[in-house]
Structure 1
Amino acid sequence: MKIKKLFLILLLLFSFSFYGQGEGMRGKREQIRAMKAAFLTTELKLTSNEAEKFWPVYNSFDDRQFELRHQKMRSFRSKMNDETLNKMSEKEAIAFLNQLESTEEELFSLRKNFIATLKGIVPATKIIKLRKSEEDFNRKLLHQYRDKGHRKD
């Protein structure tokens, strides 16, 4: 119970410092990662034995997923403006579509392997709860971001 309270306090501290000025993207990502770890730990109620095995696997998965989404998809987004799309030939569009599909398949495969690995670490109920908790965390983060934007008026 004390660990749960500690993580909630850490979550609050990180959420206040999250909006600090002068932070680079890497610093913000690390803050989000710490907030997410506190949130997931509280939501999943991992035992110390589960947590010891879970976090290295989760962090590796999260890093790879981030790399795929932000580095590969960045090049895709640059091609997704109206001007570029209007000038794209059918052959270029097919190649681009194949690249998109390949990246999506890689993300799916990554998640599938991650879940298979987790099955040996935590019960299936916690794996399902992890998915829901990740979505809850992302929604909460989005709300914080939106709220911050409204305060600048």
Structure 2
Amino acid sequence: MKAIKNIIILLTILLWLTPNKGLAQRDKIDELRSTFIAKHLEFSSAESEKFWPIYNELHDKRKAIKKNLRQSLKNISPTVSDKEAEDIINLENKSAAADAELTKTYNDKLKLVIGAKKLAKLKVVEEEFKLEVLKAAKEK
């Protein structure tokens, strides 16, 4: 259920970001996300200095995984063969596994920097941010 919710959120954000202004919008959203997280987690300067490079690296790797999957999904046509459909399903499974592995690896790294309590709160804050973005998109 959570995966479906995340997919819906992602698709909503992607649809909201039109091609003409998409890059600027994404940059603005990334900036707002950073501000939102920093405000809610109240990092010390030492935590902040170590946290952001790790978090941004994770975010970039996740974007690359999603972009690769999105490009494959765009290639689905009404005449897609069973083999091509299987390949896409396998890619989706590999993408999910890669994302899960990223989560584990980067949770371990981030926990060393900000501690388990702030890491757990980070997950909540990220969800709150997604809801704020959706709310803003609905108001437009």
Task: Please tell me the TM-score bracket, short chain as reference.
Answer: 0.7 to 0.9
Contact conserved, 1:40 with 1:133, CA < 8 A, in 2?
Answer: yes
Aligned to 1:77: 73
Indicate if the aligned counterparts of 1:76 and 1:100 stay in contact, CA closer than 8 A.
Answer: no
Q: Please give the per-residue CA displacement for 1:104-153, whole angstroms capped at 9, x wherever unaligned.
A: 111111111110101110110100100110011011101100111xxxxx
Matched, 1:50 2:47: yes
Number of corresponding residues: 124
| CA–CA separation in structure 2 for the residues paired with 1:96 and 1:132 | 31
Give the whole-Å Cα distance in 1 for the aligned partners of 2:101 and 2:40: 25
**2:85 counterpart residue number:** 93
- Contact kept, 8 Å, 2:47 with 2:114, in 1: the verdict is yes
Task: Classify the secondary structure of the residue corresponding to 1:95.
Answer: helix
Contact 1:68–1:107 (CA under 8 A) maintained in structure 2 = yes
User: Could you tell me how far 1:92 is from its partner in structure 2?
Assistant: 3.0
- The letter for the 2-side match of 1:88 is S
Task: Report the alpha carbon displacement of residue 80 of structure 1 after superposing the two structures with TM.
Answer: 4.7
Report the alpha carbon displacement of residue 79 of structure 1 after superposing the two structures with TM. Answer: 4.2
**Partner residue, 1:136:** 128
- 8 Å Cα contact 1:36/1:137 also seen in 2: yes
Q: Name the residue aligned to 2:61.
A: 64
Q: Which has the higher contact order (CA 8 A, sep 6+)?
A: 2
Q: Which has the larger radius of gyration?
A: 1
> 2:33 aligned to 29, 36, 39, which one?
36
CA RMSD of aligned residues (A): 2.2
How many angstroms does 1:62 deviate by? 0.7
CA distance in 1, matches of 2:54, 2:94: 23
Q: Which runs of 5+ in 2 are unaligned?
A: 1-18
User: Is the counterpart of residue 107 in structure 1 residue 99 in structure 2?
Assistant: yes
CA contact (8 A) 1:40 1:130 kept: yes
Query: Is the 8 Å Cα contact of residues 37 and 126 (structure 2) preserved in structure 1?
Result: yes
CA distance in 1, matches of 2:87, 2:23: 32
Q: What percentage of residue pairs aligned between the two structures are identical?
A: 27
For 2:122 and 2:57, how far apart are their aligned partners in 1? 15
